[in-house]
Every structure is written in structure tokens, then in C-alpha cells.
Amino acid sequence: MKTTAAVVERPGAPFELVEAELGEPRADEVVIEVSASGICHTDLIAQSGQFPTPLPAVLGHEGAGTVIAVGDDVTRVRVGDRVAMSYDSCGHCSACSASRPFSCGEFFPRNFLAQRLDGTTTLTRAGGALHAPFFGQSSFSTHAICHECGVAKIPDDVPFEVVAPFGCGIQTGAGSVLNALAVGPGDTIAILGTGGVGLSAVMGARIAGCATIVAVDLDASRLALAAELGATDTIHAGGGLDVVAAVQEIVPGGVPYALECSGSPDALRAAIDMVGSGGTCGIVGAPPDGTRIDFDVNAILATGRTIRGLVEGESVIGDFIPHLIDLWRAGEFPVDRLVRTFRFDEINDAVARMHDGSVVKPVLLMR
């Protein structure tokens, strides 16, 4: 099948729309006519070459569209279903069998290496193979092949451009608060970074009933939006401010929960330090591959603090995406306030607007 795909040829290169050939689905795969795809920070890191994703590749992992073909063994969806695509998992390892697909033993190769486990790809072009699927989908294309476990059915009345970002950034932010950290009424949380993930975390914390939600960022307009979406306190981290002291002035003794969403090593260092005794620091923001930070082991040991890596908000796709849709319908999760749409051929402009901070969550419209 002919398709149009946005290809990154080499590290740091812009996206280029090319004609490609989509292969046939395997028994456990589905073919999606992509209508919309969010752009995520992870796509930009892969584009820059700071992840081990091989290039040339077709990126994109927040796709939504319509099922147009299914493999022989597919039972979860059928032709004509409207779906959101999300991360890939094997479906049979110990984690997947325990309903924890976000901890799949094959998560890294299935999602970051932009190919099937046997090394084959779902897309080719005249010059040879393209690395795909990225995160089990490669949704920067008008058509994509996705493993059946990576899709969630969506209702007919939900716009594709609203639900597409749920597949990664939105479910990561909200899920980290609601699923992984499981904050509750009256709790306190500090959220560092107010991009799409961080603002989704703010909305999740408000939904959970947190009494104090501290948002930290370098962008005053993002902080203003965070306040509108539920943050009770905002901290502008510029000008050499001691962010840890500023947070602990609001919450003496430190916060019980901190969530680092920016991917900044300095922000992660601060997030760890602002957590009080027995508290938890969740790591969501993804820095370049190989990034390391130092911390005082005894300071962690003596206070019983926990540092946790959180993947995809510990979301089970078929359950959590419909839950977020219900919250959106009820007006409790206004994610559309983060979204700005772009035509597919405006992908590089959308990326530039994401880099300069003028757009929180760009969403590409393929048709």
C-alpha cells in the first residue's frame, strides 16, 4: 500500500515527506489509516540522534485513526473501528501477564529501535527499508501498522486531534499521578516542567483532589496555564532561584511527591532534594541517552525516600485511554486547551513551535 511518511534521514535533519510502501500486516497486527498524530518530546530526541533509534526512520507515536485491515489472529478490533495508538508490548512476558504491559521485558526494543524484533520493518521506499515501527506505530505517516495490543477503541464523537496525544504524553502525565504515584485527596505534589506531560499531571492531580499542587517551570505563560488547570502554587525557576528552598517554603519539610517532567538533569536533582522523608520522586522526563546525575546515597537512605522511573504513566492502554476520554467528556480533563493542529506538511513548523515553546502540544492532521 502506498503511503506518505515523514522521514528523518540523519541525526538533526528536518522531517521530509516521501512516498513509501506499507507492508502487509502480520497475524497479530492491524493497519490504521492515520488521521492525526501528536508530536512528543521523545520524537524530537530521536530526531536529534540522542536516542539509539536507527535512522533513517519514520517517527511518531501518538497516532489516531481508523482500522482498515486486520491480521488473522486479531480479536480486539475490527475494520472500521476508530482507535488511538500507543506503546507496544509483547503480551506474554511475566509483566504483561500481570497486567503491567508498561513494564514489558521487551519494552525497549519494541518501542525505541523502530523495527520488529526480528529486524524487519513495516515501511520501505525506493532506496530500501525505513526504520519503522517506532513505538509500535510510526504514526508520522498517512498509514501505519500497529500491534493489536497497542490500540484502544475510541467513540465516534471524540475528535482524533483530541485523543491522539493520549497515546503517550497525556497518559504519561496523568497516569503518573493517578496510576503510578496514586496520589489522593488532600495530598501534595510538586510537578517540575509544564509542557504537555507536566500540564497533564497538573490536571491529574486536580482530579485526584490534591490540596497543594506546585508547578515549576522557566516559562511564565506555561505557569499561568498550569494555574488555570489546577496548580495551587507556581514557581518560576529562572534567575538563579533555589527551587528546592522555594518549594519547601510552601511545603515545610518537603513534598511527599515530586514528578520531574522536563528531562533536565538539574530539575531532576532538585526534584529529588525537595522530597521529604518517606516521599517519592517520580521520573518522567527523558534526557539524552546516557545522562547521569549524582546524589547523596545516605540522604536517600536515612530518610526512606524513593526514586522511581515511570513509564507511560503505568497505563494499561485499553483501560486508561477510555477513562481519560470520560474525564474529557465530563469537562474534568480539558486537554484540548494544550493542542494546536497543523497540516501534515507543516510538520517542521510544528516542531519549531514546540522547540520555541509557543505551542504546548502540536498535533498533525493527515487528512
Structure confidence at residue 333 (pLDDT): 98
Question: Is 76:302 a contact under the CB 8 Å cutoff?
Answer: no
Mean pLDDT of 296-315: 95
Provide the percentage of residues in the chain whose pLDDT is more than 70: 100
* Predicted confidence band of residue 315 (pLDDT cuts 50, 70, 90): very high
Short-list 289, 225, 230, 232, CA closest to 255:
232
Does residue 289 carry a pLDDT above 90? no
Q: Which residues contact 129 (CB under 8 A, 6 or more apart)?
A: 121, 123
Give tens-digit pLDDT for 60-115: 999 999 999 999 999 999 999 999 999 999 999 999 999 999 999 999 999 999 99
* Predicted confidence band of residue 195 (pLDDT cuts 50, 70, 90): very high
- Mean pLDDT (the chain) is 96
DSSP 131: B
Q: CA-CA distance, 291 to 107, in Å (whole number)? A: 19
Give tens-digit pLDDT for 234-283: 999 988 999 999 999 999 999 999 999 999 999 999 999 999 999 999 99
Cell matching residue 17: 515527506
Residue with cell 497525556: 170
Does residue 212 carry a pLDDT above 90? yes
Strands (E), the chain: 2-8, 15-22, 29-38, 57-58, 63-70, 82-85, 123-125, 128-130, 143-147, 151-153, 188-192, 212-217, 233-236, 255-260, 275-283, 306-309, 339-343, 361-365
Mean pLDDT of 115-126: 96
Structure confidence at residue 288 (pLDDT): 86
φ/ψ of residue 56, rounded to 5: -70, 145
Cell matching residue 6: 515523514
Structure confidence at residue 70 (pLDDT): 98
* Predicted confidence band of residue 150 (pLDDT cuts 50, 70, 90): very high
Provide the percentage of residues in the chain whose pLDDT is more than 90: 96
DSSP 91: S
* Predicted confidence band of residue 322 (pLDDT cuts 50, 70, 90): very high
Could you tell me the domains of the chain? 2-167+334-365 (3.90.180.10), 172-311 (3.40.50.720)
Global confidence as pTM: 0.96
Does residue 215 carry a pLDDT above 90? yes
